[in-house]
Amino acid sequence: MIEDIFLKWCIDLFMFFLIYLIVTMNLNFMYGYTGIPHFGISLSVAGGGYVTGALTGRILRWVYNVYPELDFMYENSKITKEINAHLANDPFVGIGVFLLIIVISLLINAGLGYIVSRPAIRLSGSYLIIVLIGMAEAMRIIGMNYYPLVGGTFWVHVPDVFNWMGDFRTEGFLMICMLFTLATFLLLQAMSTSPLGRVVKAVRENPTSAECVGKDVVGIRTKVIVLCSALTSIAGVLYGFYIHAVLSTSYTRSAWTFYPWLMFMVGGIGNNMGAVLGTFIFTTLRRLIIFFKHDIEIFVPFQVQWLEQIMTGVMLLLIIIFRPRGLLPEKPTKMRGLDYDRFHNELEEKGVKVPERDARENILQRLLRRLKV
Amino acid sequence: MIPLVKDALVYANCVTMMSIGFTLVYLISRIPNFAQSTFAVVGVYCTFSMVRIFEINPYMAMPLGFILGALLALLVYLGIVNTLMKYGAGPILLTISLLAIQQIFLAGVNIYADYVRNVIGVYSRGFMLRANDFRVGEYPGVLLVSSFTVIVVIVGMHFMLTRTQFGIAMRATVENAPLASVLGINIKRVSIISWMITGGLAGLAGTFLPLWFSSGPGSGGMLSTSVFAASVVGGLTNIYGAILGGYVISLLEVWGSYLLMRTFGLWIGAYRMLIPLALMSIILMYEPGGIASIIEKLRAKFSGSKRVREEESI
Q: Which chain B positions have a beta carbon within 8 Å of A138's beta carbon?
A: 273-274, 277
CB B223 within 8 A of CB B18: yes
Q: Which chain B positions have a beta carbon within 8 Å of A265's beta carbon?
A: 96
- Asked whether the predicted pLDDT for residue B306 surpasses 60, the reply is no
Q: Minimal CA–CA distance to A169: which of A236, A113, A88?
A: A88
User: B184 φ, ψ to 5°?
Assistant: 90, 15
Q: Which residue of B has its CA nearest to A133?
A: B225
For A308-325, b/e burial (b = at least 16 CB within 10 A) is bbbebbebbbebbbeebe
Q: Which residue of B has its CA nearest to A130?
A: B228
Q: Minimal CA–CA distance to B100: which of B69, B76, B73, B68?
A: B76
Residues B84, B86, B91, B92: is their CA dihedral positive or negative?
Answer: negative
Task: Note the residue count of chain B.
Answer: 314
- Asked whether the predicted pLDDT for residue A187 surpasses 90, the reply is yes
- pLDDT digit string, tens, across residues B222-269: 888 899 999 999 988 888 999 999 999 999 999 999 999 988 888 888
Rounded percentage of chain B residues whose pLDDT exceeds 70: 96
In terms of C-beta density within 10 A (0-12 exposed, 13-18 middle, 19 or more buried), how is residue A158 classed?
Answer: buried
Q: What is the mean pLDDT of residues A178-198?
A: 90
Alpha carbon distance B90, B78 (integer Å): 16
- Expressed in percent and rounded to 5, the helix, strand and coil fractions of chain B are 80, 0, 20
Q: Look at strands B139-140 and B135-136 and give their pairing.
A: antiparallel
pLDDT at A361: 61
Is A119 in contact with B26 (Cβ distance < 8 A)?
no
C-alpha distance from residue A342 to each of A142, A193, A357 (Å): 58, 21, 15
Is B284 in contact with A127 (Cβ distance < 8 A)?
yes
Q: How far is A202 from chain B (nearest CA, A)?
A: 18
- The verdict on A98 touching B (C-beta cutoff 8 Å) is no
Is B103 in contact with A254 (Cβ distance < 8 A)?
yes
Q: What is the mean pLDDT of residues A210-214?
A: 90
Q: Is B312 helix (H, G, I), strand (E, B) or coil?
A: coil
Question: What band does B311 get if pLDDT is binned at 50, 70 and 90?
Answer: very low
- The verdict on B12 touching A (C-beta cutoff 8 Å) is no
User: A21 φ, ψ to 5°?
Assistant: -60, -40
Q: Minimal CA–CA distance to A197: which of A24, A369, A35?
A: A35
Which helix or strand (DSSP H or E) is residue A246 part of? strand A245-247
Q: Which chain A positions have a beta carbon within 8 Å of B28's beta carbon?
A: none
Q: Minimal CA–CA distance to B217: which of B103, B122, B121?
A: B103
List the single residue in B107, B110, B277 with the smallest CB-CB distance to A134.
Answer: B277
List the single residue in A31, A39, A316 with the smallest CB-CB distance to B100.
Answer: A316
Q: Which residue of A has its CA nearest to B99?
A: A258
Q: Which chain A positions have a beta carbon within 8 Å of B41's beta carbon?
A: none
The reported pTM is 0.87
Is A130 in contact with B83 (Cβ distance < 8 A)?
no
- pLDDT digit string, tens, across residues A127-155: 888 899 999 988 988 888 888 888 888 88
- The verdict on A96 touching B (C-beta cutoff 8 Å) is no
Is B270 in contact with A39 (Cβ distance < 8 A)?
no
Name the residue ranges covered by the structural domains of chain A.
Answer: 2-333
For A83-111, b/e burial (b = at least 16 CB within 10 A) is bbebbeebeebbeebbeebbebbbebbbe
pLDDT at B145: 92
Those residues whose C-beta lies under 8 Å from the C-beta of residue A208, and which sit 6 or more positions away, are: none
Q: Which chain B positions have a beta carbon within 8 Å of A122's beta carbon?
A: 288
Which helix or strand (DSSP H or E) is residue B8 part of? helix B3-29
CB B201 within 8 A of CB B21: yes
CB A242 within 8 A of CB A16: no
Alpha carbon distance A68, A58 (integer Å): 10
- The verdict on A296 touching B (C-beta cutoff 8 Å) is no
Q: What is the mean pLDDT of residues B127-154?
A: 89
The residue type of B15 is V
- Asked whether the predicted pLDDT for residue A23 surpasses 90, the reply is yes
Alpha carbon distance A58, A101 (integer Å): 11
Q: What is the mean pLDDT of residues B119-135?
A: 86
pLDDT at A366: 67
* DSSP one-letter string for B18-36: HHHHHHHHHHHHSS--TTH
More confident residue, A372 or B98: B98
Q: How many CB atoms lie within 10 A of CB B88?
A: 8
DSSP A292: T
Question: What band does A119 get if pLDDT is binned at 50, 70 and 90?
Answer: confident
* DSSP one-letter string for B125-136: SSB--GGGS-EE
Provide the number of CB pairs (under 8 Å) joining chain A to chain B. Answer: 130
Question: What band does A335 get if pLDDT is binned at 50, 70 and 90?
Answer: low
DSSP A356: P
CB A44 within 8 A of CB A238: no
pLDDT at A290: 83
pLDDT at A271: 83
Q: How far is B141 from chain A (nearest CA, A)?
A: 32
Alpha carbon distance A260, A249 (integer Å): 18
Q: Minimal CA–CA distance to A346: which of A335, A357, A354?
A: A354
Question: What band does B273 get if pLDDT is binned at 50, 70 and 90?
Answer: confident
Q: Which residue of A has its CA nearest to B102?
A: A313
Rounded percentage of chain B residues whose pLDDT exceeds 90: 46
Alpha carbon distance B245, A114 (integer Å): 27
- Asked whether the predicted pLDDT for residue B162 surpasses 80, the reply is yes
More confident residue, A325 or A160: A160
pLDDT at B78: 92
Q: Minimal CA–CA distance to B23: which of B180, B211, B185, B161?
A: B161
Those residues whose C-beta lies under 8 Å from the C-beta of residue A44, and which sit 6 or more positions away, are: A26, A109, A112, A113, A228, A229, A230, A232, A233, A235, A236
Q: How far is A225 from chain B (nearest CA, A)?
A: 17
DSSP B216: S
pLDDT at B236: 86
Q: What is the mean pLDDT of residues B37-58?
A: 91
- Asked whether the predicted pLDDT for residue B22 surpasses 90, the reply is yes
Alpha carbon distance A333, A201 (integer Å): 10
- The verdict on B249 touching A (C-beta cutoff 8 Å) is no
A30-34, A365-369, B212-216, range with the lowest pLDDT:
A365-369
A198-212, A235-249, A346-360, range with the lowest pLDDT:
A346-360
- pLDDT digit string, tens, across residues B82-115: 888 888 777 888 888 998 999 999 999 999 999 9
Q: Which residue of A has its CA nearest to B280?
A: A131
Is B89 in contact with A125 (Cβ distance < 8 A)?
no
- The verdict on A135 touching B (C-beta cutoff 8 Å) is yes
pLDDT at A333: 66
Q: Minimal CA–CA distance to B290: which of B22, B7, B75?
A: B22
Is B277 in contact with A314 (Cβ distance < 8 A)?
no
- The verdict on B91 touching A (C-beta cutoff 8 Å) is yes
Q: Is A157 helix (H, G, I), strand (E, B) or coil?
A: strand
C-alpha distance from residue A361 to each of A265, A327, A369, B126, B272 (Å): 18, 10, 10, 52, 52
Q: How far is B285 from chain A (nearest CA, A)?
A: 5
Strand partners, A245: A157
Is A317 in contact with B97 (Cβ distance < 8 A)?
yes
pLDDT at B30: 86
Alpha carbon distance A202, A216 (integer Å): 11
Alpha carbon distance B192, B24 (integer Å): 12
Q: Which chain B positions have a beta carbon within 8 Å of A118's beta carbon?
A: 281, 285
Is B93 in contact with A320 (Cβ distance < 8 A)?
yes
Q: What is the mean pLDDT of chain A?
A: 87
Q: Which residue of B has its CA nearest to A301?
A: B115
Residues B39, B44, B46, B49: is their CA dihedral positive or negative?
Answer: negative
